[in-house]
Each structure stands twice: as C-alpha cells, then as structure tokens.
Amino acid sequence: MADTFSRRERSRIMARVLGRGNLSTEQRFLRLLREARITGWRRHLPLPGNPDFVFREFRVVVFLDGCFWHGCPRHLRLPADNRAYWSGKIGRNRRRDRRAARELKARGWRVVRVWEHALRNAAARKRALARVRRALCPESMAR
C-alpha cells in the first residue's frame, strides 16, 4: 500500500517521533516497576546504548525495545514502500544494540532487553518482571 503522505510530509512526521517516554513501553514499564515496588533505578543515564533504566547499585541496565524499530523477530513487518531503506535502518539498529550490550557487559553490567510486546498482557509482563528481578538478584538463582 502506498504512503498517503508526500516524502517531505512523511519525513516531518517521522522526525517528531520521540525516542523515549512513549506510553506503550517506558511508561508502562515504569508503572510495572512501581507496582512491583522495585526501586533503585534511574532513567537515561549516559551509558553505551542509552539504556532506558539503570540500576547502578546492581550494575543492571534495562532496554525497552520497540518491536518495529529494533526488529522483533515475532512482530516486525517491514513497510511495503522503501523496503531497502527500512531493512537497512533496522539492521543498523540491531547491530548498534548488540554493540552496546557487548560494551556494557565488558564493563561489568548485566543487560536485560524487554520487547515492547512483552508489556502487552499480564502473563508476559510477569515474565519480563521476573527477568529483571533475576538480573538484580543473581544469587537467588543458585537456591
């Protein structure tokens, strides 16, 4: 299906898309952390990859990855128009994500990535929260 906007108008619209604070991911995850009484996090500290949540005391970072922008294997559907551009863009995003995770791990951080779709239903939210808790308390896994 062809785009209903001109290239210039589509560019203007896409430029206004915010990289943080969207309701479907960060705000929902923030609410989830608060409901679970998980504390000690800070948001958007200047670390490689710009993690969404940072637990400095535990050296844990959490990235909330949008299914489209980060290339979710389950949900990514490339637009029919300009496929080469979008494929390249999402591929670069994925490589950047891997590079940031490697750098953080080399610095001694544990990295948790949560897909946008993991925040859509109660069971998936529970699993995502459990992954964060495990990262914060790895010694509890030995029990």
Question: Domain boundaries in the chain?
Answer: 21-142
The per-residue DSSP string of the chain comes to ---SS-HHHHHHHHHT--SS--IIIIIHHHHHHHHTT----EES-S-TT--SEEEGGGTEEEEEE-TTTTT-TTT----STTHHHHHHHHHHHHHHHHHHHHHHHHTT-EEEEEEGGGGSSHHHHHHHHHHHHHHH-GGGGG-
- 92: its two tokens: 């670069």
pLDDT digits (tens, 9 = 90+) for 76-106: 888 888 889 989 999 999 999 999 999 999 9
- 34: its two tokens: 């608060």
pLDDT digits (tens, 9 = 90+) for 29-72: 999 999 999 999 999 899 999 999 999 999 999 999 988 888 88
The label of the residue with tokens 């995770």 reads 101
Q: For the structural domain made of 21-142, what CATH number should be given?
A: 3.40.960.10
Tell me the one-letter amino acid at 24.
Answer: S
- 25: its two tokens: 């991911």
